[in-house]
Amino acid sequence: MFESASLPHVMTKAAFEAAETQLRERLLDAQFEVADRKNAAVMVLINGSDGVGKGEIVNRLYDWLDDHFVETLSYGRPTDEERARPGAWRYWRDIPAKGRIGLVLGSWHHRLLRNRALGRLGRNAYDRALEEMIRAEEMLRHEGVYLLKIWLHMDFAEARRRLKKLRQSDGALRRPAVVEWDEFESEKDRARLADAALEMIERTSTGDAPWAVVPAADPRYRDAAVGDLLLQTLTRAAGDGRPSPRTLAIAAPANDLPKPSLVSFLDLAQGADRATYAQELRALQQRLTEATTARSFRDRGLVIAFEGNDAAGKGGAILRVREALDPRRFRVHGVAAPTDEERARPYLWRFWRNVPRRGDVAIFDRSWYGRVLVERVEGFAAPQDWMRAYQEINDFERELDENRYTVVKFWLAISPDEQLRRFQDREAKPFKRYKLTPDDWRNREKWQLYEAAMTDMIDRTSSRHAPWTIVEANDKKFARLKVLQTIVDRLEEAGRA
Protein backbone atom coordinates (compact mmCIF):
# COMPACT_ATOMS: atom_id res chain seq x y z
CA MET A 1 0.00 0.00 0.00
CA PHE A 2 2.88 2.37 0.64
CA GLU A 3 4.93 1.58 -2.46
CA SER A 4 4.91 4.94 -4.17
CA ALA A 5 4.45 6.92 -0.96
CA SER A 6 7.82 5.60 0.17
CA LEU A 7 9.58 7.31 -2.73
CA PRO A 8 11.00 10.78 -2.12
CA HIS A 9 8.38 13.49 -2.64
CA VAL A 10 9.67 17.00 -2.46
CA MET A 11 8.40 20.42 -3.34
CA THR A 12 10.51 23.54 -3.60
CA LYS A 13 9.55 26.60 -1.63
CA ALA A 14 8.78 28.50 -4.82
CA ALA A 15 6.60 25.71 -6.18
CA PHE A 16 4.76 25.48 -2.89
CA GLU A 17 4.10 29.18 -2.72
CA ALA A 18 2.77 29.27 -6.22
CA ALA A 19 0.53 26.28 -5.53
CA GLU A 20 -0.60 27.65 -2.20
CA THR A 21 -1.90 30.92 -3.54
CA GLN A 22 -4.09 29.15 -6.04
CA LEU A 23 -5.11 26.44 -3.62
CA ARG A 24 -6.26 28.81 -0.89
CA GLU A 25 -8.49 30.69 -3.25
CA ARG A 26 -10.06 27.55 -4.61
CA LEU A 27 -10.43 25.99 -1.16
CA LEU A 28 -12.29 29.03 0.13
CA ASP A 29 -14.56 29.09 -2.92
CA ALA A 30 -15.38 25.43 -2.48
CA GLN A 31 -15.88 25.82 1.25
CA PHE A 32 -18.34 28.67 0.80
CA GLU A 33 -20.18 26.68 -1.80
CA VAL A 34 -20.60 23.83 0.69
CA ALA A 35 -21.52 26.25 3.48
CA ASP A 36 -24.11 27.95 1.29
CA ARG A 37 -25.76 24.86 -0.13
CA LYS A 38 -25.80 23.05 3.21
CA ASN A 39 -26.41 19.70 1.58
CA ALA A 40 -23.27 17.97 2.74
CA ALA A 41 -20.74 17.87 5.56
CA VAL A 42 -17.08 16.94 5.16
CA MET A 43 -14.99 15.04 7.66
CA VAL A 44 -11.22 14.99 7.19
CA LEU A 45 -9.82 12.03 9.09
CA ILE A 46 -6.16 12.65 9.80
CA ASN A 47 -4.25 9.50 10.66
CA GLY A 48 -0.66 8.33 10.77
CA SER A 49 2.23 7.60 13.08
CA ASP A 50 3.23 10.09 15.73
CA GLY A 51 5.62 12.73 14.44
CA VAL A 52 4.29 12.83 10.88
CA GLY A 53 2.68 16.20 11.38
CA LYS A 54 -0.99 15.56 12.14
CA GLY A 55 -1.20 18.68 14.29
CA GLU A 56 0.65 20.75 11.71
CA ILE A 57 -1.89 19.73 9.08
CA VAL A 58 -4.74 20.85 11.28
CA ASN A 59 -3.08 24.22 11.84
CA ARG A 60 -2.44 24.62 8.15
CA LEU A 61 -6.04 23.87 7.27
CA TYR A 62 -7.24 26.44 9.79
CA ASP A 63 -4.97 28.96 8.06
CA TRP A 64 -6.40 28.14 4.68
CA LEU A 65 -10.07 27.80 5.46
CA ASP A 66 -12.66 30.11 6.96
CA ASP A 67 -12.58 28.87 10.53
CA HIS A 68 -16.21 29.78 11.17
CA PHE A 69 -17.23 26.61 9.41
CA VAL A 70 -14.47 24.34 10.68
CA GLU A 71 -14.28 22.34 13.88
CA THR A 72 -11.64 20.03 15.32
CA LEU A 73 -12.92 16.72 16.59
CA SER A 74 -10.33 15.00 18.67
CA TYR A 75 -10.69 11.67 20.43
CA GLY A 76 -8.29 10.41 23.06
CA ARG A 77 -8.86 8.10 25.96
CA PRO A 78 -12.65 7.88 26.50
CA THR A 79 -14.06 10.12 29.22
CA ASP A 80 -16.37 8.80 31.94
CA GLU A 81 -19.33 10.06 29.95
CA GLU A 82 -18.13 8.21 26.88
CA ARG A 83 -17.23 5.02 28.65
CA ALA A 84 -20.78 4.82 30.02
CA ARG A 85 -22.18 4.57 26.48
CA PRO A 86 -21.57 2.53 23.30
CA GLY A 87 -18.19 3.16 21.70
CA ALA A 88 -19.70 4.80 18.63
CA TRP A 89 -21.59 7.39 20.66
CA ARG A 90 -18.84 9.95 20.83
CA TYR A 91 -18.31 9.93 17.08
CA TRP A 92 -22.02 10.16 16.38
CA ARG A 93 -22.49 13.01 18.80
CA ASP A 94 -19.88 15.09 16.99
CA ILE A 95 -20.89 14.60 13.37
CA PRO A 96 -20.59 18.07 11.86
CA ALA A 97 -23.70 19.75 10.52
CA LYS A 98 -24.16 20.05 6.79
CA GLY A 99 -22.22 22.97 5.44
CA ARG A 100 -19.37 22.40 7.89
CA ILE A 101 -15.96 20.72 7.92
CA GLY A 102 -14.72 18.55 10.77
CA LEU A 103 -11.01 17.86 11.19
CA VAL A 104 -10.83 14.56 13.00
CA LEU A 105 -7.92 13.32 15.09
CA GLY A 106 -8.18 9.86 16.57
CA SER A 107 -11.16 8.69 14.50
CA TRP A 108 -12.87 5.31 14.80
CA HIS A 109 -10.08 3.82 12.72
CA HIS A 110 -7.62 4.69 15.43
CA ARG A 111 -9.54 2.88 18.13
CA LEU A 112 -9.99 -0.22 16.02
CA LEU A 113 -6.34 -0.34 15.01
CA ARG A 114 -5.29 0.03 18.59
CA ASN A 115 -7.47 -2.82 19.79
CA ARG A 116 -6.25 -5.04 16.99
CA ALA A 117 -2.58 -4.24 17.53
CA LEU A 118 -2.90 -4.81 21.28
CA GLY A 119 -4.33 -8.25 20.54
CA ARG A 120 -7.78 -7.44 21.91
CA LEU A 121 -9.49 -8.38 18.66
CA GLY A 122 -9.05 -11.76 17.00
CA ARG A 123 -8.85 -12.38 13.27
CA ASN A 124 -12.57 -12.83 12.64
CA ALA A 125 -13.65 -10.06 14.98
CA TYR A 126 -11.28 -7.67 13.24
CA ASP A 127 -12.56 -8.74 9.83
CA ARG A 128 -16.10 -8.22 10.95
CA ALA A 129 -15.31 -4.81 12.40
CA LEU A 130 -13.69 -3.73 9.13
CA GLU A 131 -16.72 -4.87 7.13
CA GLU A 132 -19.08 -3.05 9.47
CA MET A 133 -16.95 0.03 9.15
CA ILE A 134 -17.25 -0.05 5.38
CA ARG A 135 -21.01 -0.19 5.74
CA ALA A 136 -21.23 2.54 8.36
CA GLU A 137 -19.13 4.83 6.16
CA GLU A 138 -21.39 4.08 3.24
CA MET A 139 -24.37 5.06 5.37
CA LEU A 140 -22.70 8.39 6.22
CA ARG A 141 -22.19 9.00 2.54
CA HIS A 142 -25.87 8.34 1.77
CA GLU A 143 -26.71 10.80 4.52
CA GLY A 144 -24.56 13.52 3.01
CA VAL A 145 -21.38 13.17 5.07
CA TYR A 146 -18.26 13.01 2.88
CA LEU A 147 -15.19 11.39 4.34
CA LEU A 148 -11.64 12.21 3.37
CA LYS A 149 -9.52 9.47 4.91
CA ILE A 150 -5.89 10.52 5.06
CA TRP A 151 -2.98 8.36 6.10
CA LEU A 152 0.21 10.37 6.53
CA HIS A 153 3.14 8.17 5.63
CA MET A 154 6.72 8.56 6.76
CA ASP A 155 9.62 6.31 7.49
CA PHE A 156 9.27 5.34 11.12
CA ALA A 157 12.79 6.37 12.17
CA GLU A 158 12.26 9.77 10.58
CA ALA A 159 8.93 10.23 12.37
CA ARG A 160 10.53 9.36 15.68
CA ARG A 161 13.38 11.79 15.03
CA ARG A 162 10.90 14.57 14.33
CA LEU A 163 8.97 13.78 17.48
CA LYS A 164 12.15 13.86 19.54
CA LYS A 165 13.01 17.23 18.11
CA LEU A 166 9.71 18.62 19.31
CA ARG A 167 10.62 17.45 22.76
CA GLN A 168 14.29 18.45 22.83
CA SER A 169 14.43 21.25 25.35
CA ASP A 170 14.13 19.71 28.83
CA GLY A 171 11.84 16.80 27.81
CA ALA A 172 8.61 18.75 27.66
CA LEU A 173 6.92 19.35 24.32
CA ARG A 174 8.15 22.58 22.85
CA ARG A 175 5.01 22.89 20.78
CA PRO A 176 1.71 21.08 21.18
CA ALA A 177 1.79 17.90 19.12
CA VAL A 178 -0.67 15.10 18.48
CA VAL A 179 0.67 12.00 20.20
CA GLU A 180 -1.56 8.97 19.84
CA TRP A 181 0.63 5.91 19.82
CA ASP A 182 2.96 6.39 22.74
CA GLU A 183 2.10 3.00 24.19
CA PHE A 184 3.55 1.27 21.11
CA GLU A 185 7.19 1.39 22.00
CA SER A 186 8.69 -2.01 21.26
CA GLU A 187 9.69 -3.19 17.82
CA LYS A 188 7.17 -6.00 18.05
CA ASP A 189 4.28 -3.74 19.04
CA ARG A 190 5.06 -1.45 16.16
CA ALA A 191 5.22 -4.30 13.70
CA ARG A 192 1.80 -5.50 14.81
CA LEU A 193 0.46 -1.99 14.51
CA ALA A 194 1.91 -1.56 11.03
CA ASP A 195 0.41 -4.86 9.98
CA ALA A 196 -3.04 -3.97 11.24
CA ALA A 197 -2.83 -0.54 9.60
CA LEU A 198 -1.81 -1.99 6.27
CA GLU A 199 -4.72 -4.35 6.37
CA MET A 200 -7.18 -1.68 7.39
CA ILE A 201 -6.12 0.60 4.55
CA GLU A 202 -6.39 -2.24 2.07
CA ARG A 203 -9.76 -3.48 3.26
CA THR A 204 -11.57 -0.21 3.87
CA SER A 205 -10.45 1.61 0.74
CA THR A 206 -13.72 1.59 -1.11
CA GLY A 207 -14.34 3.16 -4.50
CA ASP A 208 -16.43 5.75 -2.74
CA ALA A 209 -14.13 6.55 0.19
CA PRO A 210 -10.61 5.33 -0.53
CA TRP A 211 -7.76 6.02 1.83
CA ALA A 212 -5.36 8.63 0.54
CA VAL A 213 -1.83 7.80 1.61
CA VAL A 214 0.11 11.05 1.70
CA PRO A 215 3.92 11.10 1.83
CA ALA A 216 4.68 13.32 4.79
CA ALA A 217 8.46 13.63 4.90
CA ASP A 218 8.41 16.99 3.14
CA PRO A 219 5.94 19.27 4.96
CA ARG A 220 5.39 21.40 1.89
CA TYR A 221 4.51 18.46 -0.27
CA ARG A 222 2.37 16.99 2.49
CA ASP A 223 0.34 20.14 3.01
CA ALA A 224 -0.12 20.80 -0.69
CA ALA A 225 -1.29 17.22 -1.18
CA VAL A 226 -3.77 17.35 1.70
CA GLY A 227 -5.03 20.72 0.49
CA ASP A 228 -5.64 19.34 -2.97
CA LEU A 229 -7.39 16.25 -1.62
CA LEU A 230 -9.65 18.44 0.49
CA LEU A 231 -10.40 20.58 -2.52
CA GLN A 232 -11.50 17.48 -4.45
CA THR A 233 -13.69 16.41 -1.57
CA LEU A 234 -15.30 19.80 -1.11
CA THR A 235 -15.98 20.04 -4.81
CA ARG A 236 -17.60 16.64 -4.69
CA ALA A 237 -19.62 17.54 -1.60
CA ALA A 238 -20.89 20.72 -3.23
CA GLY A 239 -21.58 19.12 -6.56
CA ASP A 240 -22.69 15.88 -8.05
CA GLY A 241 -21.45 13.50 -5.37
CA ARG A 242 -19.26 11.43 -7.67
CA PRO A 243 -15.85 10.55 -6.27
CA SER A 244 -12.95 12.18 -8.05
CA PRO A 245 -10.18 9.92 -9.30
CA ARG A 246 -7.79 12.41 -7.73
CA THR A 247 -8.93 11.44 -4.25
CA LEU A 248 -7.65 8.00 -5.16
CA ALA A 249 -4.13 9.08 -5.85
CA ILE A 250 -1.66 8.06 -3.25
CA ALA A 251 1.53 9.58 -4.40
CA ALA A 252 0.51 12.86 -5.90
CA PRO A 253 -3.01 14.14 -5.97
CA ALA A 254 -2.55 17.15 -8.19
CA ASN A 255 -1.12 17.28 -11.64
CA ASP A 256 1.04 20.19 -10.67
CA LEU A 257 2.72 18.34 -7.81
CA PRO A 258 5.82 16.40 -8.87
CA LYS A 259 4.66 12.79 -9.12
CA PRO A 260 7.38 10.18 -8.93
CA SER A 261 6.54 7.02 -10.82
CA LEU A 262 7.38 3.71 -9.26
CA VAL A 263 9.39 2.78 -12.32
CA SER A 264 11.52 5.89 -12.39
CA PHE A 265 13.38 4.72 -9.30
CA LEU A 266 14.29 1.35 -10.72
CA ASP A 267 17.51 0.37 -12.39
CA LEU A 268 15.92 -1.08 -15.52
CA ALA A 269 19.25 -1.90 -17.05
CA GLN A 270 20.18 -4.60 -14.57
CA GLY A 271 21.54 -7.55 -16.46
CA ALA A 272 21.95 -11.25 -15.95
CA ASP A 273 25.36 -12.78 -15.94
CA ARG A 274 25.68 -14.32 -19.42
CA ALA A 275 28.16 -16.92 -18.25
CA THR A 276 25.88 -18.47 -15.65
CA TYR A 277 22.45 -17.64 -17.11
CA ALA A 278 21.70 -21.01 -18.68
CA GLN A 279 22.70 -22.83 -15.57
CA GLU A 280 20.71 -20.55 -13.25
CA LEU A 281 17.67 -20.83 -15.47
CA ARG A 282 17.83 -24.61 -15.44
CA ALA A 283 18.23 -24.70 -11.67
CA LEU A 284 15.20 -22.45 -11.13
CA GLN A 285 13.11 -24.42 -13.59
CA GLN A 286 14.06 -27.57 -11.79
CA ARG A 287 12.89 -26.08 -8.49
CA LEU A 288 9.65 -24.95 -10.11
CA THR A 289 9.03 -28.45 -11.41
CA GLU A 290 9.64 -29.86 -7.98
CA ALA A 291 7.38 -27.35 -6.25
CA THR A 292 4.49 -27.95 -8.65
CA THR A 293 4.73 -31.71 -8.62
CA ALA A 294 5.21 -32.04 -4.87
CA ARG A 295 2.54 -33.96 -3.04
CA SER A 296 1.65 -30.86 -1.02
CA PHE A 297 0.85 -28.90 -4.19
CA ARG A 298 -2.07 -31.19 -5.03
CA ASP A 299 -4.09 -29.36 -2.44
CA ARG A 300 -2.89 -25.93 -3.50
CA GLY A 301 -3.16 -23.89 -6.68
CA LEU A 302 -1.04 -21.32 -8.47
CA VAL A 303 -2.30 -18.27 -10.31
CA ILE A 304 0.21 -16.04 -12.09
CA ALA A 305 -0.63 -12.69 -13.66
CA PHE A 306 1.69 -10.96 -16.11
CA GLU A 307 1.29 -7.28 -16.81
CA GLY A 308 3.77 -4.78 -18.17
CA ASN A 309 4.68 -2.40 -20.96
CA ASP A 310 4.09 -3.55 -24.52
CA ALA A 311 7.06 -5.57 -25.76
CA ALA A 312 8.39 -5.95 -22.22
CA GLY A 313 8.93 -9.66 -22.78
CA LYS A 314 5.91 -11.24 -21.12
CA GLY A 315 5.73 -13.98 -23.74
CA GLY A 316 9.36 -14.98 -23.31
CA ALA A 317 9.06 -15.06 -19.55
CA ILE A 318 5.89 -17.15 -19.72
CA LEU A 319 7.66 -19.58 -22.05
CA ARG A 320 10.40 -20.16 -19.45
CA VAL A 321 7.79 -20.77 -16.75
CA ARG A 322 5.73 -23.04 -18.96
CA GLU A 323 8.73 -25.23 -19.83
CA ALA A 324 9.02 -26.25 -16.20
CA LEU A 325 5.39 -27.28 -15.79
CA ASP A 326 3.59 -30.55 -16.40
CA PRO A 327 1.79 -29.89 -19.71
CA ARG A 328 -1.38 -31.51 -18.38
CA ARG A 329 -1.50 -29.23 -15.36
CA PHE A 330 -1.26 -25.69 -16.64
CA ARG A 331 -3.06 -23.35 -18.95
CA VAL A 332 -2.02 -20.00 -20.39
CA HIS A 333 -4.81 -17.49 -20.82
CA GLY A 334 -4.07 -14.70 -23.25
CA VAL A 335 -6.32 -11.84 -22.28
CA ALA A 336 -7.41 -9.63 -25.15
CA ALA A 337 -10.53 -7.51 -25.61
CA PRO A 338 -13.47 -9.31 -23.98
CA THR A 339 -15.74 -11.49 -26.10
CA ASP A 340 -19.48 -10.86 -26.35
CA GLU A 341 -19.99 -13.63 -23.82
CA GLU A 342 -17.62 -11.92 -21.43
CA ARG A 343 -18.86 -8.42 -22.00
CA ALA A 344 -22.35 -9.57 -20.98
CA ARG A 345 -21.18 -10.41 -17.47
CA PRO A 346 -19.31 -8.81 -14.54
CA TYR A 347 -15.72 -8.11 -15.56
CA LEU A 348 -14.26 -10.61 -13.12
CA TRP A 349 -16.33 -13.43 -14.62
CA ARG A 350 -13.81 -14.25 -17.37
CA PHE A 351 -11.12 -14.72 -14.72
CA TRP A 352 -13.24 -16.56 -12.20
CA ARG A 353 -14.23 -19.12 -14.80
CA ASN A 354 -10.55 -19.77 -15.45
CA VAL A 355 -9.53 -20.28 -11.85
CA PRO A 356 -7.65 -23.59 -12.05
CA ARG A 357 -8.37 -26.74 -10.11
CA ARG A 358 -6.17 -27.11 -7.09
CA GLY A 359 -3.00 -28.82 -8.15
CA ASP A 360 -3.03 -26.88 -11.42
CA VAL A 361 -1.48 -23.65 -12.64
CA ALA A 362 -3.14 -20.78 -14.49
CA ILE A 363 -0.98 -18.21 -16.22
CA PHE A 364 -2.65 -15.00 -17.32
CA ASP A 365 -0.92 -13.04 -20.08
CA ARG A 366 -2.58 -9.76 -19.06
CA SER A 367 -5.23 -10.12 -16.43
CA TRP A 368 -8.09 -8.68 -14.39
CA TYR A 369 -5.86 -5.63 -13.95
CA GLY A 370 -6.97 -4.50 -17.39
CA ARG A 371 -9.85 -2.91 -15.51
CA VAL A 372 -7.57 -0.38 -13.83
CA LEU A 373 -5.05 -0.08 -16.66
CA VAL A 374 -6.35 -0.08 -20.23
CA GLU A 375 -10.00 0.38 -19.25
CA ARG A 376 -9.09 3.32 -17.07
CA VAL A 377 -6.69 4.98 -19.48
CA GLU A 378 -8.84 4.46 -22.57
CA GLY A 379 -12.05 5.42 -20.76
CA PHE A 380 -13.71 2.03 -21.36
CA ALA A 381 -14.75 2.01 -17.70
CA ALA A 382 -16.26 5.03 -15.94
CA PRO A 383 -14.17 6.44 -13.07
CA GLN A 384 -16.57 5.20 -10.37
CA ASP A 385 -16.33 1.72 -11.89
CA TRP A 386 -12.56 1.40 -12.06
CA MET A 387 -12.24 3.14 -8.70
CA ARG A 388 -14.25 0.42 -6.99
CA ALA A 389 -12.30 -2.26 -8.85
CA TYR A 390 -9.27 -2.06 -6.54
CA GLN A 391 -11.32 -3.28 -3.63
CA GLU A 392 -13.09 -5.90 -5.74
CA ILE A 393 -9.79 -7.21 -7.03
CA ASN A 394 -8.34 -7.34 -3.52
CA ASP A 395 -11.43 -9.30 -2.45
CA PHE A 396 -11.01 -11.70 -5.37
CA GLU A 397 -7.36 -12.35 -4.63
CA ARG A 398 -7.99 -12.68 -0.91
CA GLU A 399 -10.60 -15.30 -1.67
CA LEU A 400 -8.07 -17.20 -3.76
CA ASP A 401 -5.52 -16.92 -0.99
CA GLU A 402 -7.98 -18.19 1.61
CA ASN A 403 -8.68 -21.10 -0.67
CA ARG A 404 -4.98 -22.03 -0.73
CA TYR A 405 -3.99 -20.51 -4.06
CA THR A 406 -0.70 -18.72 -4.41
CA VAL A 407 -1.23 -15.51 -6.38
CA VAL A 408 1.91 -14.11 -8.06
CA LYS A 409 1.73 -10.84 -9.98
CA PHE A 410 4.40 -9.34 -12.22
CA TRP A 411 4.82 -5.95 -13.78
CA LEU A 412 7.51 -6.15 -16.46
CA ALA A 413 8.99 -2.71 -16.87
CA ILE A 414 11.12 -1.45 -19.74
CA SER A 415 12.28 2.03 -20.61
CA PRO A 416 10.70 3.99 -23.48
CA ASP A 417 13.95 3.76 -25.41
CA GLU A 418 14.16 0.03 -25.02
CA GLN A 419 10.55 -0.29 -26.16
CA LEU A 420 11.25 1.77 -29.26
CA ARG A 421 14.21 -0.43 -30.08
CA ARG A 422 12.07 -3.55 -29.75
CA PHE A 423 9.24 -2.11 -31.84
CA GLN A 424 11.70 -1.25 -34.62
CA ASP A 425 13.16 -4.71 -34.37
CA ARG A 426 9.70 -6.22 -34.75
CA GLU A 427 8.98 -4.08 -37.76
CA ALA A 428 12.22 -5.10 -39.36
CA LYS A 429 11.79 -8.85 -38.99
CA PRO A 430 8.92 -10.29 -41.02
CA PHE A 431 8.40 -13.23 -38.65
CA LYS A 432 8.03 -10.87 -35.70
CA ARG A 433 5.91 -8.30 -37.46
CA TYR A 434 2.61 -9.88 -36.32
CA LYS A 435 3.50 -8.96 -32.78
CA LEU A 436 3.31 -5.24 -33.47
CA THR A 437 -0.05 -3.54 -33.91
CA PRO A 438 -1.11 0.07 -34.40
CA ASP A 439 -2.42 -0.14 -30.82
CA ASP A 440 1.11 -0.56 -29.59
CA TRP A 441 2.14 2.76 -31.11
CA ARG A 442 -0.94 4.46 -29.74
CA ASN A 443 -0.35 3.11 -26.24
CA ARG A 444 3.19 4.39 -26.42
CA GLU A 445 1.91 7.93 -26.74
CA LYS A 446 0.04 7.44 -23.48
CA TRP A 447 3.11 6.29 -21.58
CA GLN A 448 2.61 8.77 -18.73
CA LEU A 449 -1.02 7.86 -18.25
CA TYR A 450 -0.23 4.18 -18.16
CA GLU A 451 2.59 4.77 -15.71
CA ALA A 452 0.28 6.74 -13.39
CA ALA A 453 -2.35 4.01 -13.62
CA MET A 454 0.29 1.38 -12.91
CA THR A 455 1.49 3.31 -9.86
CA ASP A 456 -2.02 3.58 -8.44
CA MET A 457 -2.60 -0.08 -9.20
CA ILE A 458 0.45 -1.24 -7.32
CA ASP A 459 -0.24 1.09 -4.41
CA ARG A 460 -3.82 -0.15 -4.14
CA THR A 461 -3.44 -3.85 -4.80
CA SER A 462 -0.05 -4.90 -3.51
CA SER A 463 -1.64 -6.68 -0.59
CA ARG A 464 -0.19 -8.90 2.08
CA HIS A 465 -1.62 -12.01 0.46
CA ALA A 466 -0.84 -11.05 -3.13
CA PRO A 467 2.10 -8.64 -3.44
CA TRP A 468 3.26 -7.24 -6.77
CA THR A 469 6.73 -7.88 -8.10
CA ILE A 470 8.11 -5.21 -10.42
CA VAL A 471 10.59 -6.77 -12.83
CA GLU A 472 13.32 -4.70 -14.44
CA ALA A 473 13.05 -6.05 -17.96
CA ASN A 474 15.40 -4.14 -20.26
CA ASP A 475 17.52 -7.26 -20.10
CA LYS A 476 15.27 -10.19 -20.97
CA LYS A 477 17.46 -12.76 -19.30
CA PHE A 478 17.51 -10.84 -16.05
CA ALA A 479 13.72 -10.56 -16.17
CA ARG A 480 13.22 -14.26 -16.76
CA LEU A 481 15.41 -15.22 -13.83
CA LYS A 482 13.66 -12.78 -11.53
CA VAL A 483 10.25 -14.08 -12.57
CA LEU A 484 11.21 -17.69 -11.96
CA GLN A 485 12.93 -16.87 -8.71
CA THR A 486 9.86 -15.06 -7.39
CA ILE A 487 7.47 -17.87 -8.27
CA VAL A 488 9.73 -20.50 -6.76
CA ASP A 489 10.21 -18.49 -3.56
CA ARG A 490 6.49 -17.89 -3.13
CA LEU A 491 5.64 -21.55 -3.77
CA GLU A 492 8.28 -22.85 -1.42
CA GLU A 493 7.13 -20.41 1.23
CA ALA A 494 3.52 -21.53 0.80
CA GLY A 495 4.61 -25.17 0.99
CA ARG A 496 6.31 -24.51 4.31
CA ALA A 497 3.30 -22.66 5.78
Is 296 one of the binding residues for a copy of itself (CB under 8 A)? no
Nearer to a copy of itself, 7 or 95 (CB): 95
Residue 219 binds a copy of itself, judged by CB under 8 A: no
Exactly one of 388, 460, 477, 480 binds a copy of itself (CB under 8 A); which one? 388
Asked if 334 is part of the footprint of a copy of itself (rule: CB under 8 A), the reply reads: no
| List of long-range contacts for 119-128, beta carbons under 8 Å, 24+ apart | 119/192, 126/196, 126/199
- Residue selected from 119, 346, 430, 438 as contacting a copy of itself according to rule CB under 8 A: 346
Minimum gap (Å) between residue 99 Cβ and a copy of itself: 7
For position 358 contacting a copy of itself by CB under 8 A, the verdict is: yes
Stretch that binds a copy of itself, among 215-223, 353-361, 433-441, 448-456 (CB under 8 A): 353-361
Out of 7, 15, 95, 179, name the contact with a copy of itself by CB under 8 A.
95
124 is a contact residue toward a copy of itself (CB under 8 A):
yes
Choose one: 228-236, 309-317, 399-407, 417-425; the region binding a copy of itself (CB under 8 A): 399-407
Q: Which stretch binds a copy of itself (CB under 8 A): 47-55, 227-235, 348-356, 440-448?
A: 348-356
- Residue 357 in contact with a copy of itself, rule: CB under 8 A: yes
Helix axis angle for 108-117 and 187-203, nearest 10°, is 130
Sole window of 223-231, 248-256, 364-372, 398-406 interacting with a copy of itself (rule: CB under 8 A)? 398-406
Taking contact as CB under 8 A, which single stretch among the options 59-67, 105-113, 124-132, 412-420 is the one that binds a copy of itself? 124-132
173 scored as a contact of a copy of itself (CB under 8 A): no
Region 128-147 residues binding a copy of itself, contact defined as CB under 8 A: 128, 131-132, 134-136, 139-140, 142-145
Residues 78, 219, 316, 359: which binds a copy of itself (CB under 8 A)? 359
- Calpha distance 424→418 (Å, rounded): 10
Q: Which residue among 18, 88, 173, 278 contacts a copy of itself (CB under 8 A)?
A: 88
Among 14, 77, 84, 182, binds a copy of itself (CB under 8 A): 84
Q: Which is nearer to a copy of itself, 36 or 127 (CB)?
A: 127
Q: Which is nearer to a copy of itself, 7 or 35 (CB)?
A: 35
* Nearest distance from C-beta of residue 229 to a copy of itself, angstroms: 23
Task: From 5-13, 235-243, 394-402, 420-428, give the range in contact with a copy of itself by CB under 8 A.
Answer: 394-402
Query: Which is closer to a copy of itself, CB of 132 or CB of 493?
Result: 132
The answer to whether 122 contacts a copy of itself (rule: CB under 8 A) is yes
Q: Check residue 440 for interaction with a copy of itself (CB under 8 A).
A: no
* Residue 330 in contact with a copy of itself, rule: CB under 8 A: no
Answer yes or no: are the C-beta atoms of 31 and 101 closer than 8 Å.
Answer: yes
Secondary structure of the chain as H, E, C letters:
CCCHHHCCCCCCHHHHHHHHHHHHHHHHHHHHHHHHHCCCEEEEEEEECCCCCHHHHHHHHHHHCCHHHEEEEECCCCCHHHHCCCCCHHHHHCCCCCCCEEEEECCHHHHHHHHHHCCCCCHHHHHHHHHHHHHHHHHHHHCCEEEEEEEEECCHHHHHHHHHHHHCHHHCCCCCCCCCCCCCCCHHHHHHHHHHHHHHHHHCCCCCCCEEEEECCCHHHHHHHHHHHHHHHHHHHHCCCCCCHHHCCCCCCCCCCCCCCCHHHCCCCCCCCHHHHHHHHHHHHHHHHHHHHCHHHHHCEEEEEEEECCCCCHHHHHHHHHHCCCCCCEEEEECCCCCHHHHCCCCCHHHHCCCCCCCCEEEEECCHHHHHCHHHHCCCCCHHHHHHHHHHHHHHHHHHHHCCEEEEEEEEECCHHHHHHHHHHHHHCHHHHHHCCHHHHHHHHCHHHHHHHHHHHHHHHCCCCCCEEEEECCCHHHHHHHHHHHHHHHHHHHHHC
Put residue 404 in one of left, alpha, beta given phi > 0 → left and psi -120 to 50 → alpha. Answer: left
Least distance between a copy of itself and beta carbon 196 (Å): 16
The least CB distance from residue 59 to a copy of itself, in Å, is 26
Residue 169 CB burial class (10 angstroms; 0-12, 13-18, ≥19): exposed
**253 counts as binding a copy of itself under rule CB under 8 A:** no
Rounded distance, CA 126 to CA 173, Å? 34
Nearer to a copy of itself, 93 or 282 (CB): 93
Q: Which residues bind a copy of itself (CB under 8 A)?
A: 38, 41, 81, 84-89, 92-93, 95-99, 122, 124-125, 127-128, 131-132, 134-136, 139-140, 142-145, 301, 341, 344-349, 352-353, 355-359, 385, 388, 392, 395, 399-400, 402-403, 405
